[in-house]
Structure 1
Amino acid sequence: MRRLLALSIALALHASPVIAQQSRMSVEAIPAQSLDRSLNSLSRQTGLQFVYSAQAAGNPRTRAIPAGLAPDEVLTQLLSGTGLRHRYLNDTTVTIEADAPQTSTPAATPGATAPSQAPAAPQPDGAVLELESIQVVGSYSRSLEQAVDLKRSNIGFSDSVVATDVADFPEQNLAEALQRMPGVSIERNKGLGTRVSVRGLPSEYTQVSINDLATASGSGGRDVEFDIFASEIIQQVTVQKSPTAADEEGGIAGNVKISTARPFDYDDRKLVFSAEGAHNSISEEVDPKFAFLAADTWGDWGALVSFSTAKRTNRTDSTSGINFRPMSRFLGASGTRGAQAEAVIERDTDVVIGNRANTDESNLIVFQDKVGDRVYVNEQDKWGATASLQFKPGSRFSLTFDAMVGGYDTTEDEYDAAAYSASSRSTLETIHEYDADTLSQYGMVVLRDVSYTATQHEFLSKERINQTDYQQYSLDLDWRGDTWRLDAMAGYSGAEKTSDFSNLKHVAYAPSRTRWTGNSGETIPSANPASFDMYNSPRRYLFEAYETTLEAISDDKYAAQVDFTQTFDLAFAPALRSIQLGARYTDKSKERQYGELKITGPSAGSTAWVNTRTLADSPLQSIGDIVPGGGYSMKGLDWMQVSNEYARGAFRYPGFFTPFDDGQYYRVDEDVTALYAMADFAFDIGRVPVSVNAGARYVDTSVNSSGFHPVQNADGSTGYTDTPVSKKGSYDDLLPSLNATAELADGLLLRAAASETMMRPALTDVAYKRTASWSSFRFTDGNPDLLPTSAKQWEIGIEKYFYNGGLLAGSYFRKKIDGVVINSFTGIVPDVAVYNANGTLNGIYDFDVYQPVNADGTYEVDGIELNAQLPLETFHAALEGFGIAANYTWLDSSLAGESDLGIRTPMPGLAEKTYNFTAYYENDRFDARVSYNHKGEYVESIGYAMYPIWRDAYGQVDISVGYRINDQLKLTLKGINLTDEVTSGYTMDPSFPTMYERSGRRISLGIRADF
């Protein structure tokens, strides 16, 4: 029987296509191994399919093949000495046959495993084979095996996921799909994965590209907001952890390389649909999701389109905002407020105040800033689409146009019942409990339970409307000869993001008592007779303002690259296999406009509502009626509030708009020219085949930052220059890289890498701008003179590959990082006037000025990464279909946070431990997976640049179950956060919680159809 051995073919949205990105690159190195595994690896890289008889060909061991060779040359070298040859049946199908008629083939290597399918022998005398069928493989275990093949063939350290893996788990976006990769963790915001961290390092240390084009997402920095991308339109993601000279610089943590599908990735016309409904346990809403992919080829042309759209309503109940506030807030106040605070502290505690105006002393006494009971409802409308038009007259030439467009619109309603202990009218009345022991090593005293004279009680109805539109277009040329290859690319990536924020604020000043509780905080009436029930007294709350802000960000990048590879077979230099030369130019710009305006009356300029209109003058609803899902779940509380729907219609008078402020405008332009060269070598040391890639990348960068420079007016207020001013900067660097592999034994690989890489500063950090924090008396300026952060890094690891796609791997890595960007105190602006919301003067203060600067010294990061992927039938045949995939990353770092108190703390966002574990079972009809993902605790931020605020360790259980009805239809049942884990955090010690929030679990039911 004649059959076609189809290697690594799978369907998008249910099973991935031939790995698209690899098919558009030079062939990666292939280690010495059995013939079937070598052809399997080559198929995944090129899309070629191989027809041969397992019995006739045997399964001989093939030699190691260096990276950079053309497929024809790879096949020639693979089959050299085996008695076999290759011959093209068409552009994508190759037959493996005896080198000459009647030539016997070598016996199979002892212990080698024959291919899972047994292709028939080719016809004699070169007759064309009649192909009866194509076996399509689309299982989860197969996608894991594909990822292992990619890892093995890559010259550097890397890990991958392909479309089957991305689609078959219940992820809500691309960030959550990536969290199962070794060393990859995500940041969560209200139950949704957002930014990606590699090896525990902050997310801004990761470079992201789609189809080899660095990606714009409209974020304020260089990190990409992954939540805007639908995972269904992505086909493959590779995290490159050790770069080569050809890799675009910018990833100290790693480079995340994303690729989408192309029409010639498929052999036949393909049409795929999927539909899903997901239920959130708190909002009790059912959210729809739809996706499809269509691809076809005709002659030399092919076209592909894919589309995904999803709606999501997620509710989060939270008690939060319970941060430390330094006692300088009260002790530094003028008049009786400061004197009373000093007297109460000395009366109710053992603390004696030496000089209450000395912040070095008062900053070591802390109290609760605020306690907020909050309900968030986040409604998302996301869509994404890809298109690809490909001209491919043969296996040696292709010209491809790729496009990816999408939109991500969110409306988040936040309803707060909060008590602001540190109000400008208040001071201490009675200290009921204080703690001088827990943080005594820092000399700190925490006031745990305090009554205040005039707490600012607040009802806040906040609405955030964010709209992001992204688009990316690229044109790729892939042209190859017998010994050379030319690749060229030109592309554009852009994002437009608009953020419209409003806050309806009602306040009531009265005595109250605020204290920490078991996992949060609470505000209750105090013993003062003027105190009141803050949750049930709407007429006590006076209108203060309807605050609005508007921000618009334009993020654009143009890029062009050309790459030429020449292969060699030189008698005088037999180890040299190829030389690769390339150049890349990018032009990136980011422009930001921002404005704010407070509505205080029914018309422009009116203040008629201030201190006259009460909360009760607006139609009120119970919090359980405003939001879907019923009452507040955290404390059994209920309160009445104004809905955002009503507020937007009632308080925005006709003709209202939020004007942009010239003083908040900035634009940053960045041009980068890069030249690189590298060479591939292959040789044997004794009986050990070795592959080496060595190269260097030269990078020249120029930056032009423009904006309105801040100036101080005669009355103490802050103004800005009349016209924008600009400042230029430039820097260059040479970034060497070395990657090597040695196959110590069959399937046992030693891998090593060393390189220097860099991460440019965030464009917002180099911008001419000044941001004021009026409550903390601080200005934050940009710094156009910032230089990039650079790292010298090396890694060594051992990897054991098994015949059935299994893998055991471990590596140790070390990074020395220079030029880390930190916020630093750079000056003082004296006598700044600070005004209250109603326009009255709050006081005259000296403002500290902070700027991002490159820190002195070198920081070190050490880590260990372990990875196991094991089909359990390796151990016993009865376990066929069962398997596990697990990884663990441990990090030790001297990267420090920016605490002005000198408190040693990790850099915000850096987690010491992350690990993932997945167990799965599958057969022809049924599959099931359960996964646990864990990210260790990390510093989320540093309050007032003094007090580290920690996010607790978080672990989540997800499941996916599928049943294939027939060859075309499959039902899936998925669950996210089945154990309903909460997100929590604390300041410095767990006994001082800052946040406790619950976003619930999501259960979805879906169906997919493949035609």
Structure 2
Amino acid sequence: MNNTLQQAIRLANRTLLGLGVLASAPQVLANDEAQAIEEVQVVGIRASLEQNVNMKRFAGAVVDAITAEDIGKFPDKNVAEALQRIPGLSVSRDFGEGERVSIRGTDSSQNITLLNGQTVATSEWKVLSALSRGFNYAMLPSDLIASAEVYKSPEARIDEGSLGGTIILRTRKPLDLESGTASLSLETQYSELPGEWDPSASAFYSWKNDDSTIGVLGSLVYQDRTVERHGSEVLANYVPTTAQDTGESVYVPWGLGSALFQQQRERRGVDLAVQYKPTEAFDATLHYLASELGASNMNQNFLPLARNAVRDGGTNTQVDANGVVTSSEIDGSLAPAHVAYDVIYRDGSSMDTDVVDLDLNYDMDGIRLHGQVGRTTSEGKANDDFYEFFNRPNDDRVSWTYTNAGRPSASFDNSDWITNPADELILNGYFESRIVMTDAENYAQADAQFDVEFGPVNEIEVGIKLRDREITQDRLRTTAANMAPDGFGDAADFWSGAVVSGLHSETGFGPSAYFDPDRAKLNAYFGALPDCADGVTATCAKRNQVWYPSIFDISEKVNAAYVQANFAHEDSGIRGNVGLRYVTTDTDSGAWSFSSAEGDYVYDVVKANYADTLPSLNLAWDINDSMVLRAAAAKVIARPSPSQLTSSVSVTPESGRGSGGNPNLEPYRANQYDLGMEWYFAEGAVAAATLFRKDISDYIFTEIREENVVTPDGVINIPSMSRPQNGPEVSLSGVETQLQYTFDNGFGAVANYTFTDVGDATLVDGTTATLPGNSKHMANLSAFFENNLLSARLAYNYRSEYFSAQTGVGKLYRDKQSSLDAQFSYYVTENLTLRAEALNLTNETVSDVFELTDGPTLQGSEWENGRRFFLGANYKF
């Protein structure tokens, strides 16, 4: 039989067998043809799942993994979204794309991500985002990643710093690949809300010489994405106030927001590696990774100030049994400032990350030496050009209706000026802000592994690691002075006829249309303002002032040493590791404070240090060929985030809120335990359940208190100042379950469910504090089909509500979330694959819930990100 005919028969039979309609076909094939079918290498979804199971099964700790079965074929567009398929993991999708990963009910800031075993510096592009130790996965295209391992129980050899688990991302090495391995991917995505198509592309190439002693690989990624988000926002919580017409104390939001966020994301990534292996004993790899995210954006928010409106101009106010205002007619003639409109342009906002790493390995007889040195840096730029309009006081044209039938809303149906403004609103708020955040870490480590024969102990690992990290934030502000009584001008002066429309199709909020200011007119007006100087009495600009309250510098030095013994007892089937890690942490936290005595800013540095001894034990008992019983115990720490350690402050006098840090914070500390059973009942299949518990001490909670803040403008009283404090103990426990199986006909399923329960910490004053980020219920279900011609997957993800933040009037929760995603691939040839993908098929929204102290539970903000669709092709050379 010629090769062409043989390949055709093989293809036809594999396809029919995959569809499950030819179960008896192998009986009528020639033996050599049947043998050929059996020898075909498993690829695609099934290959990736089998690798994931094998990594879990033979790991020395409690580990789950995700692998890319081929170049550029990581299971999801975003690494975070792939990780959410793992039991106990959940992600945030605030802008329709996975950014932060939470593990086992712990907040994303309490877990670390390592790239090839080392820290990845990270920063932010959003003004309101606090610098965190949690990695922002929007920075990392999945095309650059070969695998992701999640260590839920620690080993002494792995960096400390995670309360829930440690994620280790790995890139490829050229000597592990065939020389000339190359791929090219082209793709376009359609985003529903902006109605835009955007391109993306990636390319990969790897080469090595005939002797496999030197290799080079490179990967490039280019992605654009038009982002649009519609928000129905509840600002500054439900602050009790007194209704104007009834005199009752009622619950009403400080402000509502009809928000439109638009962004053009431009992601560029490069991954380069040079590997040199002149002998079997020595190996050196120089690795460079860089990723850049251009994040220029614009945010518009039409803001009915409900508290002021009901308090000063509410008529016919209706209140339910809980004291919640359900409706109120707002008479503009009675109320002063009760409608605002914020427009913020953020051109040039961005963040980048790069890593330079040298990895050395030397293998002697029974001894393996490893050394690694490198540097990782990140810079984030958060720019703000802020303009704020307010209504003219006591203007009967600015009347509207407030309602809250479970969801607060504002109706301006009889106010035509919203889309055709004249002088109802005046522009009287303006500033420009330029924030630059940097994160840089130098690291060096040396490790040694010794083969030994101490009973069941077969290997001893020892090592040391030094880390030097510096995190900074600088800020410049431009403001105006000598503003006229009527502000900078009427709304009509800064408008050329454009209108924002089409908002809130899913969130049911109003208004859904309002005028769009003319940016060119805004730029022309404020660009022409003269610089403020002595004797200048006209409106002027104070340009590029150093804004000391927001500036800080945190230096952190971490030194660690460890010893770990790996053991395996062949007769009993017991294996695992036991180790001890000792780590010291020294921090210098510097910030500016205003001294009323000296009349100027002074720079203060607060020093802190602590040391921790972190034992760990991992046991695995291979009961038989398919059953594994695991147990683990360890002590772990999670350091405070940079924003929590700074002594700088940020205040918003208009809403009476502010926030600051605490340089003397101790880290979270926890004793944790795991007990699990894993059943590998078929090739690439697993059924498993794991019980876990974490007893957390030095719990960090947010304290809300009244505070007087000294500024150059005088002492400002802030009724709700937020600061982190170390608190008492709290316990977290739960169970993870998972099931994975592939049928002979090409169908398969992956399912997992995690239950997590955490108690509230009781504070000294008798009040309670809640651990953030914990969803009691999390579930994932993926069903797939794959044969020689195509593969398809439908994936559902769910997490229940979780505590987000403590506010001055109660607790803020993120409501339950779910998503349904789909993928389809068609294998045109062995080298060419066409694919399609859809994210958030059911167009789920993201929303918040307020649980008021001694009050009702009320709906908060809600955001719609829309669906996204992808079409693409991958060609492997």
The TM-score normalised by the length of structure 1 is 0.75
Is the counterpart of residue 669 in structure 1 residue 551 in structure 2?
no
Structure 1 CA distance, aligned partners of 2:842 and 2:412?
36
Whether the 8 Å CA contact 1:823–1:898 is kept in 2: the answer is no
- Compared with structure 1, are the counterparts of its residues 644 and 153 closer, same or farther at alpha carbon in structure 2 (3 Å cutoff)? farther
1:15-42 per-residue CA deviation (whole Å, 9 max, x = no partner) reads: xxxxxxxxxxxxxxxxxxxxxxxxxxxx
Whether the 8 Å CA contact 2:180–2:206 is kept in 1: the answer is yes
Whether the 8 Å CA contact 1:284–1:629 is kept in 2: the answer is no
- Which 4+ runs in 1 deviate beyond 6 A? 627-633, 830-835, 897-901
Structure 2 CA distance, aligned partners of 1:898 and 1:640?
49
CA displacement at 1:640 relative to structure 2: 1.5
Structure 2 CA distance, aligned partners of 1:1008 and 1:750?
41
Partner of 1:593: 474
Partner secondary structure for residue 924 of structure 1: coil
1:719-752 per-residue CA deviation (whole Å, 9 max, x = no partner) reads: 7533x22121111010000000001122100011
Aligned counterpart for 2:801 among listed residues 914, 926, 937: 937
Partner of 2:724: 852
Aligned counterpart for 1:495 among listed residues 378, 382, 388: 378
Structure 2 CA distance, aligned partners of 1:136 and 1:649?
65
Give the letter aligned to residue 143 of structure 1: S
Partner of 1:81: none
Whether the 8 Å CA contact 2:548–2:601 is kept in 1: the answer is no
Partner of 2:95: 190
- Higher mean displacement: 452-461 or 398-407: 452-461
- Compared with structure 1, are the counterparts of its residues 984 and 303 closer, same or farther at alpha carbon in structure 2 (3 Å cutoff)? same
CA displacement at 1:396 relative to structure 2: 2.6
Structure 2 CA distance, aligned partners of 1:670 and 1:223?
16
In structure 1, list runs of 5 or more residues that go unmatched: 1-54, 56-113, 119-134, 331-340, 352-364, 438-444, 600-604, 836-842, 874-879
CA displacement at 1:608 relative to structure 2: 5.1
Whether the 8 Å CA contact 1:701–1:731 is kept in 2: the answer is yes
Whether the 8 Å CA contact 1:669–1:703 is kept in 2: the answer is yes
Alignment of 1:127-138 (within 5 A): 137-138=42-43
Give the letter aligned to residue 744 of structure 1: I
Alignment of 1:466-865 (within 5 A): 466-508=349-391, 509-510=393-394, 512-518=399-405, 520-524=407-411, 536-569=420-453, 573-599=454-480, 605=481, 607=483, 610-611=486-487, 613-624=489-500, 637-644=512-519, 647-648=522-523, 650-653=525-528, 657-683=543-569, 688-712=572-596, 721-722=601-602, 724-824=603-703, 828-829=707-708, 845=717, 850-855=722-727, 857-865=728-736
1:191-214 per-residue CA deviation (whole Å, 9 max, x = no partner) reads: 222111111211111111111111
Whether the 8 Å CA contact 1:209–1:257 is kept in 2: the answer is yes
Aligned counterpart for 2:758 among listed residues 893, 904, 916: 893
The TM-score normalised by the length of structure 2 is 0.86
- Compared with structure 1, are the counterparts of its residues 942 and 448 closer, same or farther at alpha carbon in structure 2 (3 Å cutoff)? farther
Give the letter aligned to residue 307 of structure 1: L
Aligned counterpart for 1:319 among listed residues 232, 252, 273: 232
Partner of 2:749: 884
Partner of 2:256: 371
Partner of 1:993: 859
Is the counterpart of residue 913 in structure 1 residue 796 in structure 2?
no
Is the counterpart of residue 304 in structure 1 residue 189 in structure 2?
no
1:380-426 per-residue CA deviation (whole Å, 9 max, x = no partner) reads: 00011110000012333210101101211112212222211344996
1:41-69 per-residue CA deviation (whole Å, 9 max, x = no partner) reads: xxxxxxxxxxxxxx9xxxxxxxxxxxxxx
Partner secondary structure for residue 888 of structure 1: strand
CA displacement at 1:291 relative to structure 2: 0.3
CA displacement at 1:137 relative to structure 2: 4.8
Partner of 1:88: none
Partner secondary structure for residue 243 of structure 1: coil
CA displacement at 1:317 relative to structure 2: 1.8
Partner secondary structure for residue 559 of structure 1: strand
Partner of 2:280: 395
CA displacement at 1:846 relative to structure 2: 6.5
Partner of 1:156: 61
Partner of 2:790: 926
Partner of 2:135: 224
CA displacement at 1:957 relative to structure 2: 0.9
- Higher mean displacement: 255-264 or 545-554: 545-554
- Compared with structure 1, are the counterparts of its residues 524 and 921 closer, same or farther at alpha carbon in structure 2 (3 Å cutoff)? closer
Partner of 1:355: none
Aligned counterpart for 1:1003 among listed residues 853, 869, 873: 869
Whether the 8 Å CA contact 1:475–1:491 is kept in 2: the answer is yes
Partner of 1:964: 827
Give the letter aligned to residue 664 of structure 2: D
Partner secondary structure for residue 57 of structure 2: helix
CA displacement at 1:167 relative to structure 2: 5.3
CA displacement at 1:468 relative to structure 2: 0.9
1:684-713 per-residue CA deviation (whole Å, 9 max, x = no partner) reads: 5xx631013111000011111112134346
Alignment of 1:294-443 (within 5 A): 294-298=205-209, 299=211, 300-321=213-234, 324-327=237-240, 341=242, 344-346=245-247, 349=248, 365-423=250-308, 427=312, 429-430=314-315, 432-437=317-322
Partner secondary structure for residue 175 of structure 1: helix
Whether the 8 Å CA contact 1:738–1:754 is kept in 2: the answer is yes
Partner of 1:266: 177
Partner secondary structure for residue 159 of structure 2: coil
Partner of 2:23: none
Give the letter aligned to residue 735 of structure 2: I
Higher strand share: 2
Whether the 8 Å CA contact 2:688–2:739 is kept in 1: the answer is yes
- Compared with structure 1, are the counterparts of its residues 899 and 494 closer, same or farther at alpha carbon in structure 2 (3 Å cutoff)? farther
- Higher mean displacement: 616-625 or 803-812: 616-625
Whether the 8 Å CA contact 2:68–2:74 is kept in 1: the answer is no
Whether the 8 Å CA contact 2:693–2:732 is kept in 1: the answer is yes
Partner of 2:25: none
Structure 1 CA distance, aligned partners of 2:665 and 2:268?
37
How many pairs does the alignment contain?
813
Is the counterpart of residue 457 in structure 1 residue 335 in structure 2?
no
CA displacement at 1:171 relative to structure 2: 4.1
Give the letter aligned to residue 852 of structure 1: P
Whether the 8 Å CA contact 2:230–2:503 is kept in 1: the answer is no
Whether the 8 Å CA contact 2:552–2:591 is kept in 1: the answer is yes
- Compared with structure 1, are the counterparts of its residues 526 and 310 closer, same or farther at alpha carbon in structure 2 (3 Å cutoff)? closer
Structure 2 CA distance, aligned partners of 1:632 and 1:458?
21
Whether the 8 Å CA contact 1:169–1:960 is kept in 2: the answer is no
Structure 2 CA distance, aligned partners of 1:320 and 1:521?
9
Partner of 1:76: none
Give the letter aligned to residue 459 of structure 1: Y
- Compared with structure 1, are the counterparts of its residues 747 and 807 closer, same or farther at alpha carbon in structure 2 (3 Å cutoff)? same
Structure 2 CA distance, aligned partners of 1:792 and 1:774?
41
1:859-909 per-residue CA deviation (whole Å, 9 max, x = no partner) reads: 000011011110123xxxxxx21110111111000145999994x674332
Whether the 8 Å CA contact 2:191–2:866 is kept in 1: the answer is yes
Percent identity between matched residues is 24
- Compared with structure 1, are the counterparts of its residues 1009 and 832 closer, same or farther at alpha carbon in structure 2 (3 Å cutoff)? closer
Give the letter aligned to residue 782 of structure 1: G
Structure 1 CA distance, aligned partners of 2:343 and 2:762?
33
Whether the 8 Å CA contact 2:293–2:352 is kept in 1: the answer is yes
In structure 2, list runs of 5 or more residues that go unmatched: 1-30, 125-130, 532-540
